[in-house]
Chain A
Amino acid sequence: MSSSWALGGPAVPLVVAAVLRRHSTQRWYAVIAIWTSLVWLAVGGLTWHPLIQGRTWAILLDVTNLVAATSAWDSVGWLREHPRMAPHRYYGWWSLFWAALLGIALAHNLALAWLAVEFSTLTSGALIIEVGDRHALEAAWKYILIASVGLIVGLIGLVFLYASLQYQTLGWATLNYQNLHGQFPHVAPIIRTLATVFIVAGFGTKAGLVPFHTWLPDAHSEAPSPVSGMLSGVLLGLSLFTVVRFVEAVPTARGVFLSGPHLLTIFGTLSVVIGALALLVQRDIKRLFAYSSIEQVGIMAVAAGLGTKAALSLALLQFVLHAVIKSSVFYGAGHLSVMYQTQRLKKITGLLARHPAGAVWWAVGILALAGLPPLGLAYSEWLIFRQLWQHHAYLVIGLVAASLTLTFAALTYHLMRNLWRDMDALAPAAAASEVL
C-alpha cells in the first residue's frame, strides 16, 4: 500500500494541540476541522482510482478520514459545550486516535494491524479518561482492561502463526496478508484452528462482537460524543475488517467447523440478536446507539461470514453507510444531552416543538439506522438478506430478520418519545380528561 503518507494527516492537529496549551482560543479548533476536511478531500482525490475500483483499503481510508473530519467539526461545538475539558489534551489524544485508525485501515500485515488496534484502544481510552467523571473513569478502566486482554488473546494466535511459518525467515513480513495467503495451507491443521479462533476472538473483542462486547456500551456512552462517533462509526468496522482481511487471506473450505467464516457467522448472528434485544430496554441515549452498533457490526460479520466477493462488498457497503449514519447520530445525541442536561431517554422528549429543524434531522438519522427504505442501510441489509438466501442460510435469515424487526420497533419507539412529549406523562392526563 503506497498510501502510508496519509498517516501524516494527524501531525498538524498534534502540533496545534501543543499550541493550544499556551494559546487556547476557539479559532484553533476550526483550524483543525478545516485541516482534517482538507486531508479527507486530498486523500480522496489522490486515491480516487483504487476507490472507484472498490479496493477495500482505499474505502476504509477515505471513510476514516471522512468521519475524522465530521468529528473535528463536531468537536468545535462539543468543546464549547464542555468548557472543563482541556482542549490541548483533547486534541492531542484525538490526533493520535485518528492516526491509529489510519494505521488500521492501511495495515497490510496482521502484526502491524494488531499494534494499530491496541494503540487505538489506548488513545481512545485516554479520551474517555479526560472526561473525568466517575462514570467515564469506570468505563475507561473496563475498556482498556477488557480490550487489552482480548487483544492479548489475538496476539497468542499471531505468535502461533508466526512460529509455524518462521522457517521462511521473513521476520515480521511473515504476517503479511499476501504471505499468509500462500503459506497458510502449510501450517498444521490444529495450529490453523487455534490461531484462527484466537485471532477472530481477539480482534472480535475490539469489533464489539458478542460475547466479547461487554466493554462497548460503557465506553461508547461515556466517551466525548465526537469520539463516540469515531469509535462506533469507524473503529468497530476497521477492527472487523482486520478479521475479514485475515479470514480472506487464509481461505478454508466452506462449512469447516471453527473456520474464520464459521466463527464470523456465529458471532455475527449472536451480535445481531443480543444487540437488538438490548435496544428494547435501554434508558440512556448513547447506550442505545452503542447497542445498535453491536447489532450493525453483527450484520457486517454475517455478510463477511458468507465469504463470497459479493457478500464482502456488501459488508463494506454496510460499513460505509453505518459509519456515516452512526457517527452523525452520536454527534446529535451529544448535543441533545447537553440541551436537555441529561442522557436519560425518558427525559429527552418534545424535540419537535423545541427544535423543529433538529427534530427532522434526528428523525432521518434514526429511521436510517432502523433500516427504513429507501434510506441507505435498508438497501444494504436487503442485499445481504438476498445473499443469505442464495446460500441457504435459513436459520441465520430467521434470526437476523426477527432481530431487525425488533430493532425497527425499538428505535422508532424511542424516536417517537424523543419527538413528542413524554407519552407516559400524557397517558394519565388523557385518562383524567376522559373521567372529567
Chain B
Amino acid sequence: MNDLGLLLFLLALGLLWSRTMHHTVWFLAGEGVLLSLMVWTSEPVTAVTVVVGLATLVVKGGLIPGLIHRILRTWPAAFRRDHPLPLWAYGITVLVVLAVSHVIHLLGPTGVIQHALLFFYALASIHVGFVMIVARRHLLSQLASLVAIENGLVVLAVSLAGALPTFIELGLLIDLGIAATLMVWMSHRIHQAMHTTDVITLRRLRG
C-alpha cells in the first residue's frame, strides 16, 4: 500500500510540474487507477469494496480525465499548455512537504495515524495540490488540482482510518463527478466567451 501511496505522490508532483495539459490527463487517469487499486488492496475483497473500487475507476480513472481530454481536443494548441510554474512554487512545495514530517511528529503520540508513511504521502499530495491550485494558471490545471487534493484526501483517510464509510466514499465520488463535469463545461464556455483559459484574466468582478 505504501508503494501505491508513493506512486500517487509522484503523480501529484507530475501534475504540479507538467505544463502540457495532455500529460495532466494521463497523470489524473493514473491517480484514478492507483486509488481503485488501493480500495481493492486496503480491505478484504467484498461486494462493497468491488463496487467502490469500480466506481472510483470509472469516475477518477475514466470520466474526469476523459472529459478533460475531450474538451482539449477541440481547443487550438495554444490553449493546451499552461504557463511555466513560478519559481516560488518550487520553494513552497519543498517547504510544505517537509512540514508534513513535523505534523507526523505532532500527531504521533495520539495514535491516530495507522500508516505513517502512507500518511506522509497523502498529506504531501494534498499540500502539493494546494500549491498547484494557487500557482497554476490554466483553468483545467485548477480543476486537476482540485481532483488531486481530493485524491490525496482519500489516501489520507486510508492512512488514518483504513477507509471511509461506503456511504461517504460514494457520496464523494458522485460529488466530484458532478463538480468536474460542471467545471469542464464552464471552462469550455469561458474559452468560448473570453478566448482564454488563463485564470488571471478572470478579474472583471472586483471590489
Contacts and interface: CB of A to CB of B under 8 A. Distances in A.
- Do A and B originate from a single complex? yes
Interface stretch (A10-18, A33-41, A114-122): A114-122
Nearest to B114: A163
Given A142-B202, A164-B112, A190 B107 contact: yes
B161 A166 contact: yes
A43 B157 CA distance: 38
A338 interface: no
Interface string A158-196: 011011101000011010000000000000101100000
Contacts of B106: 190
A119 B175 CA distance: 7
Interface string A412-426: 000000000000000
Contact of A162 (B133, B161, B199): B161
A156 B186 contact: no
Interface stretch (B50-58, B69-77, B94-102, B148-156): B148-156
Interface string B57-70: 00000000000000
A154 to B, nearest CB: 11
B205 A139 contact: yes
Contacts of B107: 190-191
Interface stretch (B15-23, B83-91, B189-197): B189-197
A129 B149 contact: no
B165 A159 contact: no
Contacts of B130: 149
B167 to A, nearest CB: 5
A145 interface: yes
Given A156-B156, A191-B107, A135 B205 contact: yes
Interface stretch (B5-13, B25-33, B35-43, B176-184): B176-184
B110 A190 contact: yes
A122 B178 contact: yes
Given A134-B194, A141-B202, A129 B157 contact: no
Contact of B171 (A115, A144, A145, A166): A115
Contacts of B44: none
Contacts of B186: 129, 137, 140-141, 144
A378 B207 CA distance: 28
Given A162-B164, A172-B165, A281 B207 contact: yes
Contact of A129 (B126, B168, B172, B189): B189
Contacts of A155: 153
A273 B62 CA distance: 46
A126 B207 contact: no
B195 to A, nearest CB: 11
A137 B193 contact: yes
Contact of A159 (B149, B160, B185): B160
A115 B171 CA distance: 7
A143 B193 CA distance: 18
Contacts of B156: 156, 159
B133 A149 contact: yes
A215 to B, nearest CB: 10
Q: Chain A CB within 10 Å — which of B111, B112, B130, B189 has the most?
A: B112
B124 interface: no
Contact of A172 (B109, B167, B189, B204): B167
Given A115-B168, A152-B149, A160 B205 contact: no
Given A122-B175, A152-B149, A281-B207, A144 B182 contact: yes
A188 B179 contact: no
B24 interface: no
B204 A135 contact: yes
Contact of A149 (B146, B161, B178, B194): B146
A281 B207 CA distance: 8
Given A162-B161, A172-B165, A141 B139 contact: yes
Contacts of B189: 129, 132, 137
A287 B204 CA distance: 13
Nearest to A166: B161
A159 B161 contact: yes
B142 interface: yes
Nearest to B106: A190
A141 B205 CA distance: 12
A222 interface: yes
A283 interface: yes
A56 interface: no
B127 to A, nearest CB: 11
B160 A138 contact: no
A218 B205 contact: yes
B112 A149 contact: no
A118 B190 contact: no
A197 interface: no
A172 B171 CA distance: 12
Contacts of A149: 130, 133, 146, 149
Q: Chain B CB within 10 Å — which of A137, A190, A283 has the most?
A: A137
A352 interface: no
Given A132-B189, A139-B205, A141-B183, 20 more contacts: A111-B167, A115-B171, A122-B179, A122-B182, A126-B182, A129-B185, A138-B202, A142-B202, A144-B186, A149-B149, A156-B153, A159-B156, A160-B112, A162-B157, A162-B164, A163-B161, A171-B167, A172-B167, A188-B112, A282-B207
Interface of B: 106-107, 109-112, 114, 126, 130, 133, 139, 142, 146, 149-150, 153, 156-157, 160-162, 164-165, 167-168, 171-172, 175, 178-179, 182-183, 185-186, 189-190, 193-194, 199, 202, 204-205, 207
Q: Report the 6 A-B pairs with minimum CB-CB distance, sorted nearest first.
A: A163-B160, A188-B110, A172-B165, A163-B161, A138-B202, A115-B171
